[in-house]
Amino acid sequence: MATRLDIGEQEQLDQLKDFWKAYGNLITWLLILALGGFAAFNGWQWLQRDRAQKAAVLYEQLDKAVQAGDAERTTRVFTDLRERYGSTTYAEQAGLAAAKLLFGKGQLDAARANLQWVAENANQGEYRVIANLRLAGLLLDEKKYDEALKQLPADAPHAFAGLVADRRGDILNAQGKAEEAKAAYRTAWEVLPPTIDYRRLVEAKLTALGAPPNAGVPVLIPAPVPGGASQ
């Protein structure tokens, strides 16, 4: 048998009804939006994982084509990977790998196009810098010095600063701007860690320009021993 509500309980129930009447629709919509957002986030994560898995399969096919030296298949797979999963890291890696193979095959225009795509579209800053450095190298070989300099990033991560400076030195040296080239090589030599063998190559370039890195280091002359000759 149902019990009758006392006056206090009835007032609370009436207040709750009034509150729900005033704000019930708003609360319902907020809940729907929150649940919808949660579902959308989970769906987005699933979609990203699915895209990454499919991109990985295509990258494996491209890697096999590169290992086999099959430029035609490499280009075909990279085009597919770029168009379908261009926002993935696999596409960026594939672009660099394909460009290297095509360059080795003498297909310079195709190699340049792949590098340009990576330089303009890569999400990973490291891959953009690598693509720009390689593009600058291609343009240097073609004696397109001004274009090559424009490819060098001004905001490269510190790990690449030495390589960027070295490539700038190569371009300036090819232009006959020896003093500017020395300055660029000097920057590269100072930035590159002493443990990296590539630093020796930069040192050789400086030496060839008559500016060996250690030329400005003063020679320390031992102080004379008091009383003349040493004992």
What are the residue boundaries of the structural domains of the chain, listed by start?
49-123, 125-212
In tens, the pLDDT along 160-209 reads: 899 999 999 999 999 999 999 999 999 999 999 988 888 999 999 999 99
Name the nearest CA neighbour of 134 among 154, 153, 158: 153
Residues with Cβ within 8 Å of 84's Cβ and at least 6 positions away in sequence, in order, are 54, 55, 58
- What confidence score (pLDDT) does residue 225 get? 46
- What confidence score (pLDDT) does residue 154 get? 84
Residues with Cβ within 8 Å of 190's Cβ and at least 6 positions away in sequence, in order, are none
Task: Count CA atoms within 13 Å of residue 36 on its CB side.
Answer: 6
- What confidence score (pLDDT) does residue 47 get? 56
Concatenating the DSSP letter of every residue in the chain gives: -PPPP-HHHHHHHHHHHHHHHHHHHHHHHHHHHHHHHHHHHHHHHHHHHHHHHHHHHHHHHHHHHHHTT-HHHHHHHHHHHHHHHTTSHHHHHHHHHHHHHHHHTT-HHHHHHHHHHHHHH-SSHHHHHHHHHHHHHHHHHTT-HHHHHHHS-TT--HHHHHHHHHHHHHHHHHTT-HHHHHHHHHHHHHHS-TT-THHHHHHHHHHHTT--GGGGSPPPPPPPPTTSS--
In this prediction, the residues of the chain whose per-residue pLDDT falls under 50 are 1-2, 38-44, 46, 216-226, 228-231
Residue 123, amino acid: N
Concatenating the DSSP letter of every residue in 213-227 gives: GGGGSPPPPPPPPTT
- What confidence score (pLDDT) does residue 111 get? 93
Q: CATH fold of 125-212, please? A: 1.25.40
- What confidence score (pLDDT) does residue 41 get? 41
Q: For residues 200 and 210, is the Cβ–Cβ distance under 8 A? A: no
Q: Other C-beta atoms within 10 Å of 218: how many? A: 5
- What confidence score (pLDDT) does residue 231 get? 36
pTM of the model: 0.70
